[in-house]
Structure 1
């Protein structure tokens, strides 16, 4: 009998491997983000004395302004998840606004919505034919559709709207959707908001703004966000569509019809952009179609989609941010907009503390410098000039994309020209 001596260092380890930290589910992250945003706004409102930050009127205006951005971004999400960059969202929105006005003043809001979907989908079909079938560069095709949408609607307005409205740039008045409010609940929330209690009144104002004057378009947009998530992430169709955007060659080898899924995604993208255009015509406050009324919202929707990391939940947050910045400057002007800069100082300060806790010294130093610079602006400037507040959503877009660019991951085959075989 032979025995072998084993070096203790060579003995198998009985120490279990360290456990990986469990990530929070997406809904929990979103809930924490909402709570953090409300806390930040309430704190800023209390420290600056600006109640408009969380007033019901500001939130209601922000919802209306965020709606077309959200729907346009959702259209971009569908296309880019299938690997097609859709810069043409602006042009498809323009087609949707004209289609909604043309059908709306004749037959009412619901036919207007259907017409907007059809006109937007036609723009998507054109983009799909150019990019998927003929292999045209996605950016070139999108820019061409933006120019074509503006030109076609200008011609059609001169042909059909001018004899009725006596203005080639404007349609006749279009009937609007009815709006709904939770009367008893909103009255109670209004009483809480007027009491100006720290935190409580802020939450009451936000909830009252979300529950007052709700249009069917808001309900449709919320349903489309949920449906997009469920379809793209929880169904076989969505899995195949996303695989086309990640690796179309591998998808084809598994029997997926890549062309069919790309066409379906871009058609849905155009239809959603058409609905985004319809919100500019069918929401209260707009008489109907007006030339140039999209005002770059298709591009901002695309930025909101990128900010949301090509996911519906993140897109919703990005659209809310851009709509809120636009609504605040429309409701209150430059003086109130300065309070957002103060809120930014608080936010950056929280980020600096987080970076210090993680021992990321360089990032913490950079955040501290940014916080000092923002506070210097807040301390030295009494009111932001109106020329700058008009472009608040665009400035917010640039800042947010610059900050969020480090954590983004686009679909691997996004923008690539695909050829079968």
Structure 2
């Protein structure tokens, strides 16, 4: 079969060679780490790189990562899926219902099944009946919230005596990599600049890890291998790039869109299970997804519809969420200092590229960030509670110029119609 799912690779200005993608990611990750490390010691807010903050960030980022992977599968097949939030809600209820009766593993499977049912409904509406993708996604979100509210009243209220929550649900155990975790903790306590910061971040990554966390990070390379390194993935992505050409080459576009949306719903449902079955949660709570489905969609867009990119986006949003929960206003306020350092680096890079406008804009933004840090002692609690959502808006605005969605994403496809 001839490949029809091609992706444009931008060339460097002037015809020069570009730095490989993995090298750019490594470079900017290093710059970000150094900025946060310097900020931690200049402001005295050690929680910025503590193992506790990173452990919380990983736990909070896992549901977002599952939702982002769900969005990736759907949109690579050409279907916009803003119904991820509703599919996550279905997953939280299904995970709590089965987990309460048969244990966390059964809850994980049930969450995937309930989420997949939401994906199936979205597929029937958009693929078979040609309903607008946005309209169908909004309907799925409303359906998920309404259905779980009814089911909770019917099945949970007689046990928990509260229609808004389930009885306590058994949780997955967590694991730490010993003796590495202990050694990193000792190194973190020494409080040496950069070294202790690195130890704190790495210690948080290898401590308190649950099976859902392992599964989420395993599914990132699995999604890449399936979507980019298999005939199945090539056919599925061709449906999101040029479904007419794919159909002419023998690809059953409807079938692949259905499979992609069912997988998308299952992944979003697993994100709901992560909220219910991980340590720190009592079970199902009404509205506990707290818009994480939308944030997962934003992480996928920030990652430019690529598994590695959405992993970085999920980590960023999880970190902002974990930071404000662990340390509150003080840590979020200190991040303005770190943002100033990053913007100065961006300004220098743009200046080297002779992009005068971007360099000037970065310097102006850096001055604004530093002014907020200098003239305020802490931020209002009402503002810090929405830190993940504000980060979502800022990141999407910054990344909007380099995004390249699948060419046929959101288009209504009808077989035999060009």
TM-score range, shorter chain: over 0.9
Q: In the alignment, what sits opposite 2:103?
A: 108
State the alpha-carbon separation in 2 of the partners of residues 271 and 187 from structure 1.
36
* 2:178 equivalent to 1:183: yes
Aligned to 1:397: 392
Q: What residue number does 2:343 align with?
A: 348
Q: Which residue of 1 aligns with 2:293?
A: 298
1:360 equivalent in alignment to 2:355: yes
Decide whether the 8 Å contact of 1:92 with 1:273 is kept in 2. Answer: yes
Aligned to 1:12: none
2:38 to 43, 48, 57: 43
> Deviation per CA, 1:183-211, whole angstroms, max 9, x where unpaired?
21111111110111011000000011011
Q: TM-score, normalised by structure 1?
A: 0.94
| Per-residue deviation, 1:105 | 0.5
1:365 CA drift (Å): 1.1
Aligned-partner Cα distance in 1 for 2:342–2:14? 32
For residue 7 of structure 2, what is the aligned residue in structure 1?
none
Deviations 1:320-340 (A, max 9, x none): 111101111111111121111
- Report the Cα distance in structure 2 between the residues aligned to 1:27 and 1:373, rounded to whole angstroms: 31
Distance 1:229 1:123 in 2: 24
Out of 44, 64, 77, the position equivalent to 2:72 is: 77
Give 2:379's match in structure 1, choosing from 343, 362, 384.
384
Indicate whether 1:90 and 2:85 are aligned. yes
Deviation of 1:182 (Å): 1.4
Cα distance in structure 2, aligned partners of 1:43 and 1:254: 55
- Structure 1 residue 28, shift from structure 2 partner: 3.2
Match of 1:289 among 274, 278, 284: 284
Aligned partners of 1:306 and 1:408 also within 8 Å: yes
Cα deviation, residue 363, structure 1: 1.2
Query: 1:198 aligned to 193, 196, 218, which one?
Result: 193
CA contact (8 A) 2:31 2:342 kept: no
Query: What corresponds to 1:318 in structure 2?
Result: 313
The CA deviation string for residues 65-116 of structure 1, in whole angstroms up to 9 with x for no partner, is 1010010010000000000000100000000000000000100000000000
- C-alpha contact 2:87 2:141 (8 A) present in aligned 1: yes
* Correspondence 1:224-373 to 2 at 5 A: 224-373=219-368
- Asked whether the equivalents of residues 131 and 141 of structure 1 are also in contact (C-alpha less than 8 Å), the reply is yes
- Distance (whole Å) between structure 1 residues aligned to residue 253 and residue 366 of structure 2: 48
Secondary structure of 1:376's aligned partner = helix
**Is 1:96–1:274's contact at 8 Å kept on the other side of the alignment?**
yes
> Alpha-carbon deviation of 1:19?
10
CA deviation after TM superposition for structure 1 residue 20, in Å: 5.0
- Alignment partners' CA distance in 2, 1:88 and 1:46: 42
Asked if the contact 1:83/1:262 (under 8 Å) is kept, the reply is yes
CA drift at 1:25: 3.8
- Tell me how far apart the structure 1 counterparts of residues 414 and 236 of structure 2 sit (CA, whole Å): 16
- Aligned equivalents of 1:171 and 1:121: distance in 2? 22
1 CA distance for matches of 2:347 and 2:336?
16
Cα distance in structure 2, aligned partners of 1:345 and 1:305: 26
- Does the residue aligned with 1:183 lie in a helix, a strand or coil? coil
Report the CA distance between 1:364 and its aligned residue: 1.0
The Cα shift of 1:375 comes to 0.9
Q: CA separation in 2, counterparts of 1:289 and 1:370?
A: 41
Aligned residue pairs total: 404
Q: Which has the larger radius of gyration?
A: 1
Distance between the aligned counterparts of 1:374 and 1:214, measured in 2?
A: 35
Residue 147 of structure 1 is matched in structure 2 by 142
Deviations 1:259-284 (CA, angstroms, capped at 9, x unpaired): 01100100000000000000000011
Partner of residue 208 from structure 2, selected from 205, 213, 218: 213
CA distance in 2, matches of 1:19, 1:292: 51
Q: Which runs of 5 or more residues in structure 1 are unaligned?
A: 1-17
1:112-131 to structure 2, matched below 5 A, reads 112-131=107-126
State which drifts further: 355-364 or 341-350: 355-364
Alpha-carbon distance between aligned partners in 1 of 2:235 and 2:23, rounded to the nearest angstrom: 27
Query: Please, which runs of 5 or more residues in structure 2 have no aligned partner?
Result: 1-12
Contact 2:69 2:267 in 1 (8 A): yes
